[in-house]
A and B are shown apart, each in its own frame.
Chain A
């Protein structure tokens, strides 16, 4: 140690910024959640076009994932990374750019999602300009992070850092590849993938957003803050090595379990199931590692509310990572999929694991960051109990809602017919549970408000000027030799001595490359066959692209977020085909950019709705659903009868679709004219049925045309006739363009 020491200090200002952002956006995200929870039992609360369930639900999920959990990750990562590496962040400017850039993205999400700008892929709803901004901010964060790693003064990188590295790399990959799309205007784009492949990419992304945005970052935080709060090292460092590598290797495969019994090829679905089940092992390894860190310190848990939050967080992690593998088993998934069961599962994770870990961190950090005692420890305890009972009420109610509805959908009576053929009956049964959820969510939010108030009061008694301790440490020497020499002997002996991993821990860049390889190789094993083996998606000759008007209707369907409550995917299960009709085939989705299969049925599946009702039914139903289905909880969309179709924008949509390979034939040159002609026909049919006149240029006509098309191609094929009653004459040029069979 006869070397010069560097003097430096840690940047805590950025941590304070992210802490406020975490709590304030968290409250916003939870409040939006409460609003949409209320909109289900009280449909009248869908007060304006931009405040309907379909537009607010993505706002809720994005706010909780990217604003609440995202800012919490950054808060903890900036605090712990600097201390674990014994260095300040490389660039305060980039740290600030990361902070303000991220908040700007959140604000733009909060504006554009209610306006209906959406890619309609779950947790990837934000449109392409915002996606580019996210990539830029993320890269700035990554550059700052990796240069900081290079400038560290601690030779080996701690397990928390491994998890942060994996998160930074993988989130970048997922974000870029799932969001590849062709723009059709400033706030509209179409995924370059279609149907089965788009579904695969989306759930590769979607599941790994859970893995690498809500799990690995928070595991890193757990490995730092849990030992800190308990003041003892993690239970087993070796278990954490196992936990890290198996999690990174296994998680990336699990996405297809979101698509069981859909048109996704069976092998992919089975693979997703097996890897999900295997994930149970490392996940529980991590849980055990976290909980046993408290060995010999359990008495502290009763006194320290921070540890209480952490214990519940890690327990919730254990519960949801037991439940996840279970839900990914096909037979269980058949019951749970499309129901509230999945909603309860994610809330165990988000409210329990992410929420409680965040609150524990905030209450541990606040006295240190504001350099004063917490204003009220009793309030911290009260927050803990409010939030705990809030979660319990929420998940118990919603688990039972999920099981109830799932069982009702599959029930047959003694004559072999569906026992509950009326879908709305299965929804009505859930109303008491929905009210319990509202109560649980309110408790959780009450705790959050108390927490913010407590933070504010603590901040108010901060010192006039924060003390900034100066730390001294030596820079890394370029000529380092490990004092533990490598073990001699056989290859197996060298392997089991784990010297190699110790070495990796001293080489962050190499470590990052290995992590990236783990993630990329596993992805390619699934992605390459999905994209390149033709037998995965047998083509169906009668499946044709949407007409320009139908495409405009589909844009409206996306804008209003209909896919949040309606699936378009009939599974090959007896009770599904009885209720909805023929099951969905992979070849039906080849022009679906993006796929709209959905993940939750708050309303019935729509894959076979085309031709089921007359045009006028849809007009009346959209105007006020309760006029047609008395107990419906669907929002009313009266504005569709007054808003004019932007016919010129249709050309842009058609051109974008043609660019990604949809065979649009002549429509590439004459989309508005074709759309107007079909709109006249639909409007005439509405008038002929006794409906209102003058709708020919209104959005309701486009949406009706789209809904009436769903499932029709397959019916045309099975009826075996060349006539196409559903497709108007004006659309013939499109119908004649044959699919090239290349996808």
Chain B
């Protein structure tokens, strides 16, 4: 029995859709996490990284 026999018999037609739902759930969770207020100060500091060529924002 070859791998393709097993895979064909395993009835995986819903497999891709399940994966898609998992990713949508993860996506929504990340959206919520990012836009809840919380660590704005840290992120503001991080966003200044490109503006200074000489001094690290978080040294050491």
| A interface residues, Cβ below 8 angstroms from B | 1, 3, 10, 80, 83-84, 86, 153-156, 158, 160, 223-224, 227-228, 231-234, 237-239, 241-242, 245-246, 249-250, 267-268, 271, 274-275, 278, 471-474, 476-477, 480, 484, 487, 495-499, 502, 505-506, 522, 525-526, 528-529, 531-535, 742
Bin the interface of chain B by size: 35 or more
Contact B59 A153 (CB under 8 A): yes
Those of B7-31 within 8 Å (CB) of chain A: 7-8, 12-13, 15-17, 19-20, 23-24, 26-27, 29-31
Contact A246 B27 (CB under 8 A): yes
Cβ–Cβ < 8 Å partners of B19 in chain A:
525
**Can you list 9 pairs linking A and B with CB atoms under 8 Å apart?**
A154-B56, A227-B47, A234-B47, A267-B13, A480-B60, A502-B39, A533-B4, A533-B12, A534-B5
Cβ–Cβ < 8 Å partners of B58 in chain A:
154-156, 506
Contact A158 B46 (CB under 8 A): yes
B32 within 8 A of A: yes
Residue of B nearest to A3 (CB): B60
Q: Which of the residues B2, B23, B49 comes within 8 Å of A154, measured between beta carbons?
A: B49
Contact A471 B53 (CB under 8 A): yes
Cβ–Cβ < 8 Å partners of A154 in chain B:
49, 56-59
Those of B31-60 within 8 Å (CB) of chain A: 31-36, 38-39, 42-44, 46-51, 53-60
B1 within 8 A of A: no
Contact A238 B34 (CB under 8 A): yes
Supposing A274-B20, A533-B4, A534-B4 touch, asked if A496 and B38 sit within 8 A by C-beta, the answer is yes
Cβ–Cβ < 8 Å partners of A484 in chain B:
39, 42
A610 to B3, CA, bound (A): 36
Contact B23 A249 (CB under 8 A): yes
Q: Is the interface of A mostly helix, strand, loop or mixed?
A: helix
- Nearest chain A CB to B55's CB is how many angstroms away? 7
Cβ–Cβ < 8 Å partners of B35 in chain A:
238
Cβ–Cβ < 8 Å partners of A473 in chain B:
54-56, 59
Cβ–Cβ < 8 Å partners of A224 in chain B:
50
A378 to B2, CA, bound (A): 68
Q: Which of the residues B24, B31, B36, B50 comes within 8 Å of A242, measured between beta carbons?
A: B31
Cβ–Cβ < 8 Å partners of A532 in chain B:
3-4, 7-8
Residue of A nearest to B14 (CB): A267
Contact A227 B16 (CB under 8 A): no
Contact B33 A233 (CB under 8 A): no
Cβ–Cβ < 8 Å partners of A529 in chain B:
7, 12, 15-16
Q: Which of the residues A156, A533, A742 comes within 8 Å of B46, measured between beta carbons?
A: A156
Instruction: Tell which of B19, B34, B55 has the most Cβ of chain A within 10 Å.
Output: B34
Contact B33 A237 (CB under 8 A): no
- Nearest chain A CB to B20's CB is how many angstroms away? 6
Cβ–Cβ < 8 Å partners of A528 in chain B:
7
- Nearest chain B CB to A606's CB is how many angstroms away? 31
A642 to B39, CA, bound (A): 73
Nearest 5 A-B pairs (CB), nearest first?
A532-B7, A233-B47, A155-B58, A237-B43, A154-B56
